[in-house]
Amino acid sequence: MSTESASLKNYNTFALPVNTAHLVIAEQIEMMIKAWQKAQKRQEPFLVLGEGSNMLFLENFAGTVVINELKGIEIREEQDAWYLHVGAGENWHHLVKHTIECGIPGLENLALIPGLVGSAPIQNIGAYGMELRQVCEYVDLLNLTTGEIDRMDPQRCEFGYRESVFKHEFKQGFAIVGVGFRLSKQWCPQLNYGELSKLDPQTVTPQQVYDAVCATRRTKLPDPRVMGNAGSFFKNPQVSGDVANELLTQYPSMPHYPQSDGQVKLAAGWLIDQCSLKGYQIGGAAVHRQQALVLVNTGNASSQDLVALARHVRNTVASKFDIWLEPEVRFIAATGEVDAIEVLS
């Protein structure tokens, strides 16, 4: 389905009133390729969108937006593991729920993360001590120009913290159409973070981990259908051991997570909270009162309100802690993605 001059309000979880010149709902790969060819002919920008759960549109989009609706979940059981092939247009949480209902553990820590399966590798989504890269078997990447699909193993995906090759080399002219997962039968619960640490590793079940993650996320994070938001707005910063130790002498209760490379990950939400910014508002944009890491649209926010608020939060944290937060949310201008840090600087 193709529409001229369409609203994107229902296709970005901030619910910003932005439009696109052309909107295509792609249920088949061929529709994506055709939309790409048309956009190339018109010499217009092109953007593949899932549920818009990690996007901040700065203004109207001056080209074609394709909504990825490629569906399907295939499960193959082997002796050592379950192997899944999932269409990029499947809702991420629905996949997690489906695997748990089928008695297949391994994704429970990533429950209730908003967005589609195809968006998950781009961000290398993660929560509660787990990241997508730990279960990703491959990513099927469509070359929109040639129509060929390249099955990329995890090494080629160059996964990092909220990072992958899909944000760089394959940002334009490519679309993720499917993701493969390997979920081991040797299930090992990951209970290092937050409320999960209260569970007993000897007796805990995947369902209990799933329930605990869902309960925690529901109490902390606003439902985007009720209040527009994109989940965590900023990445958790990583600092040197020396910087972390210096901060810990001032703030002994500061959450901190030592990494294998000697760096220490800090909680961006805690840093923002220490600046007394919960509830702080600019126009229709506010820092969420329950979770400082989430910026919300209170009902009538503009893109400019959210940018101004993000800039204020970033500058306030920097002046108190000398740590510059980086947005996790991707900033989209009229012709495509722009550098979020440049926009906020």
108, 162, 164, 217: the catalytic one is 162
Active site residue 182: no
**List 164, 232, 302, 303, catalytic entry:** 232
Contact in structure between 310 and 303 (CB atoms under 8 Å): no
Indicate the residue type of 343.
V
Catalytic residue among 90, 108, 131, 328: 328
| DSSP bridge pairs for 331 | 56, 338
How far, in Å, CA of 239 to CA of 261, rounded? Answer: 11
b (16+ CB within 10 A) / e for 151-161: ebebeebbbee
- Verify whether residue 328 is a known catalytic residue: yes
Tokens of 13: 């979880």
DSSP state of 95: H
Burial of 303 (C-beta count, 10 Å sphere; 0-12/13-18/19+): buried
Question: What is d(CA 212, CA 216) in angstroms, rounded to the nearest whole number?
Answer: 6
Residue 212 sits at φ, ψ, to 5 deg, of -65, -40
Distance from C-alpha of 201 to C-alpha of 190, rounded to nearest angstrom: 8
Is 330 in the active site? no
CB atoms within 10 A of CB 186: 6
Query: Rg (Cα) of the chain, in Å, rounded?
Result: 20
* Residues with catalytic function: 162, 232, 328
